[in-house]
Amino acid sequence: MMMDVTNALAVIRALETQGVEVWLGDGGWGVDALLSEQTRPHKDVDLIVRVDQAEAAVQALQGLGFAVAEGRLSSCFVLRDQQERSVDVHPVVFDAEGNGNYTMENGEVWVYEAAWFGGAGTLQGEPVRCLTAQGQVACHTGYELDEEDRRDMAALHKRFSVDLLPEQESPVR
């Protein structure tokens, strides 16, 4: 099942209502929020929360029918509901400089730079916090990008003039 904008917003608002700090992460809804429009369907919503609020996040989303389906609250975890909608959560520990340190499943730490947390976007005209365009670009490296990723990066480049890495550029056709 796809995660539509109404459900993505419901997830974000449920977390915020419970005092959980939440950002749309490096993924489709985060890009679409920056662009202020939905550009494609999304199978999940990718979120960043503070690791010390991970349990509160799980509790908040239980009210919407979500339960932890995989992962660990100290690392990446996924919640799903009975309709198979997914919420992919990346819990971070903020350091003294405001960087978000995310421990991946393999034990490596990915650092979301402090400046990336300053993104502001909209979904259906409602303001949401998200990673900046620069943060999105930086997070889309180190793996084989698919065509959706390349289109997302091209849209961010066009709108925000953010520099892309060579592997993020769409091949000329």
Q: pLDDT by residue (tens digit) across 50-78?
A: 999 999 999 999 999 999 999 999 999 99
Q: Six-digit token pair at 116?
A: 């990336």
pTM over 0.85: yes
Residue 169 belongs to some domain of the structure:
no
| CA quadruple 101, 25, 16, 67: dihedral sign | negative
**Domain that includes residue 125, residue range:** 5-164
How far apart, in whole angstroms, are the C-alpha atoms of residue 44 and residue 41? 9
Residue 76 belongs to some domain of the structure:
yes
Q: How many domains does the chain have?
A: 1
Report the Cα–Cα distance between both ends of the chain, in Å, rounded: 32
The CATH number of residue 60's host domain is 3.30.460.40
What is the mean predicted confidence (pLDDT) over 87-109? Answer: 96
Q: C-alpha distances in angstroms, 159 versus 48, 155, 156?
A: 23, 6, 5
